[in-house]
Copies of this chain bind each other. A is one copy, B any other.
Amino acid sequence: MRQPDAGPKPGDHPLLRKIGCFTRLSAAENEALRGALATRRSFEARRPMMSEGERPDTVFAILEGWACRYRVLADGRRQITAFLLPGDLCDSPMFVLEAMDHSVGTLSPVIAAELVQDDILALTEASPRITRALCWDVLVQAAIQREWTVNVGRRDASERMAHLFMELFLRLRAVGLVEDDGFEMPATQSDLADALGITTVHTNRMLQALRASGIVSLERKRLVVRDIGKLRHTAMFDGRYLHLDGEGAHLSANED
């Protein structure tokens, strides 16, 4: 439950920190990335960042706060298809697809770095390792998306919730946002419901069940994992899909 000893230091840039789970970048590469991420943009809580149908020409990297991808059906039903946490890229169209097929909005206040197409081209041309790292992020997000399909398709409500909490716990820990086995969770029960494919009422009941079993607690937007063994067990969690155990986890820095 603790940070790994050789883990990233607090104050690191979340994106660099996450990429560090996959590969070690040289000091020069780190600086190049840090430079490209200099342009900041802030969003208030519960505001759109990109909307369905738009053709954005930038990619955001979340630095602080939570956002989510979602789709709203004609009759108002909403499905959240991803939580975007610090270090995540809102990669979606990646300058290749015609238009956004879903929306992205903030759940909490968000600070994001804005990357324009030229930044990305410059970065990827400068370093194949950065190219691989960005590619890795896209593929991991796709893997997470597959797991969400499994989650919603084949697990019952409490398993789903436990699984989501395990995932959030590990993803946030990877970017240094877990403290004392807990993390800030700006999503409301209604947001969780839309991510889990159940109703708000049922979300509330399942949450109470997890609380009653002493598995998690959730107060004042802070989720604390009380018993990660039980949480992992009720979720039947297998974290391989998060691919958090890349080179970066065991190789030392490689200065070329």
| A residues neighboring B (CB under 8 Å) | 52-53, 69, 71, 73-75, 77-79, 81-82, 92-94, 96-99, 101-102, 132, 135-136, 138-143, 145-150, 152-155, 194, 196-197, 236, 240-241, 243, 245-246
Which single residue of chain B is at the shortest CB-CB distance from A141?
A: B142
Can you list 21 pairs linking A and B with CB atoms under 8 Å apart?
A52-B240, A53-B240, A71-B150, A73-B236, A79-B149, A81-B150, A82-B146, A96-B132, A96-B135, A96-B136, A97-B140, A97-B243, A98-B245, A99-B240, A101-B143, A102-B146, A142-B145, A149-B149, A152-B197, A153-B196, A154-B194
Q: Is the CB of A146 within 8 A of B145?
A: yes
Which single residue of chain B is at the shortest CB-CB distance from A136?
A: B96
Q: Is the CB of B98 within 8 A of A243?
A: yes
Q: How far is the CA of A75 from the CA of B159 in the complex (A)?
A: 13
Q: How far is the CA of A150 from the CA of B236 in the complex (A)?
A: 22
A26 to chain B, nearest CB (A): 19
A75 surroundings in chain B (CB, below 8 A): 236
Known: A97-B243, A101-B243, A145-B145. A79 touches B150 (CB 8 A): yes
Known: A143-B101, A145-B149. A154 touches B94 (CB 8 A): no
A210 to chain B, nearest CB (A): 19
A74 surroundings in chain B (CB, below 8 A): 236
Q: How far is the CA of A146 from the CA of B80 in the complex (A)?
A: 9
Which single residue of chain B is at the shortest CB-CB distance from A160?
A: B153
Q: Is the CB of A197 within 8 A of B154?
A: yes
Which single residue of chain B is at the shortest CB-CB distance from A137?
A: B96
Known: A96-B136, A135-B96, A236-B73. A197 touches B153 (CB 8 A): yes
A84 to chain B, nearest CB (A): 13
12 new A-B contacts, CB < 8 A, other than A71-B150, A75-B236, A154-B197, are: A74-B236, A78-B154, A79-B154, A93-B139, A94-B139, A96-B135, A97-B143, A98-B243, A99-B240, A102-B143, A148-B149, A154-B194
